[in-house]
Amino acid sequence: MSGRVGDLSPKQAEALEEFRERIQDVLPLLPAQHDHFLLRWLRARNFNVNKSEAMLRKVVCFHCICVQVIEKYLSGGMCGFDREGSPIWWDVIGPVDPKGLFLSASKQDFIKSKIRDCEMLQKECDLQSERLGRHVEAITMIYDCEGLGLKHLWKPAIETYGEILTMFEDNYPEGLKRLFVIKAPKLFPVAYNLVKHFLSEITRNKIIVLGGNWQEVLLNYIDPEQLPAAYGGKLTDPDGDSRCRTKIHYAGTVPTSYYVRESVKVDYEQCLTVSRGSSQQLEYEILFPGCVLRWQFSSDGADIGFGVFMKGKIGERQNAGQMQEVVPSQRYNAHLVPEDGSLTCSEPGVYVLRFDNTYSIFQSKRISFTVEVLLPGQSQSPKKRAGSQVEASNQSQSPNNQGGSESGASS
């Protein structure tokens, strides 16, 4: 029997029932609760219920920790409405611990969190439109920059923040009405110069840096009843908290107990070095559809680009621009938080996992990785494969390598 819905042996059906019963406490945390989803975990461990449960609980625990860290230690929140009825989003920069956050969750976790915030604000604009009987389509943002320091200029944090800004501009055009910067220290211009190239000129023109009279200016745009008392208004929490902490998260230092590097140890099967200004390719020939390509990797010292491509033949000389992109290439902070992912291969072909270091002029990157090809309906433990390695660089190609050279400029 294949171990799929509608094709279960009596023993497999019994294992599914037992598995569902054992994980009742974490079912609400799963992205799906149907049999199709649960059977994936059982098939991955050959219907060994104990191993399947341990595998699922480990994943749930990891993701719960990431979500919990972001909810507790990433600042911000919606609080109040401006005089025109637009929602107000607050970001409190000073208490944020960028390194602690990045050691505890991945860049993708942060981006997903910000997407949820943007969707929530969009829905709030729609609700305001219904309440007021007129169209509300943009928000007011207030950045409290008191305590902005060098720790906030940490490169991985700046780059991720830039990606979030780009995502906001690309997916929520004209979603920002104005952005007030208050309590800006002398370091602010430096920080702003690091991120302004992510913003369109239209957006940059909406940023207003306020001086010492910032409370007075805010009250010109926001009714006192909608402005937290700590910022010059009259709004408080039910318990009298003038900072409205039930609505605005003020972050703080992330405890080291949340750090992924200290709590998750990954044993990788292979290592490779990606030279400066070059890339490395791992090729996997998938013979039939439905196979799952799964990967884990970490990098030493700095981030690394990663993407998945598809091409016609093994060893065929193609650079990134000549192959079909399957998983978009992007830079991962895998030196801070290990990255993992998977892809269901919808068609046969040669799939290429590409580690990209073409943007790095000076630094080589050492990558530790494990790649697995899971066969559809396989009855054994997942097979681990190293793949064939292709080095692409500005240097001459090694005779032992398959594939072609790829310059940094071409990718």
Report CA-CA distances (Å) from 310 to 183, 366, 374: 50, 24, 18
Contact between 188 and 134 (Cβ < 8 Å): no
Helix (H) or strand (E) holding 27: none
Residue by residue, DSSP assigns 58-127 as HHHHHHHHHHHHHHHHS-BEEEEE-TTS-EEEEEE-TT--HHHHHTTS-HHHHHHHHHHHHHHHHHHHHH
Closest by Cα among 338, 341, 307 to 324: 307
* Between residues 392 and 320, the one the model is more confident about: 320
pTM over 0.85: no
Position 401 pLDDT exceeds 70? no
Question: What was the pLDDT predicted at 1?
Answer: 78
Residue by residue, DSSP assigns 198-219 as GS-HHHHTTEEE--TTHHHHHH
- Longest Cα separation, the chain: 74
Buried b (16+ CB within 10 A) or exposed e, 197-211: ebbeeebeebbeebe
Least confident of 16-20, 78-82, 318-322, 340-344: 340-344
Tens of pLDDT along 106-127?
888 888 889 889 999 999 999 9
Buried b (16+ CB within 10 A) or exposed e, 232-267: bbebebeeeeebbeebbbbbeebeeebbbeeeeeee
DSSP assigned state of 358: T
Q: Which residue ranges form the domains of the chain, and what is each CATH number?
A: 10-69 (1.10.8.20), 74-258 (3.40.525.10), 266-394+401-410 (2.60.120.680)
Tens of pLDDT along 358-377?
999 889 999 999 898 877 64
CA gap 115, 213 in Å, rounded: 33
| Strand ranges inside 149-244, DSSP E | 176-182, 207-209
Cα-Cα-Cα-Cα dihedral sign, residues 300, 304, 308, 313: negative
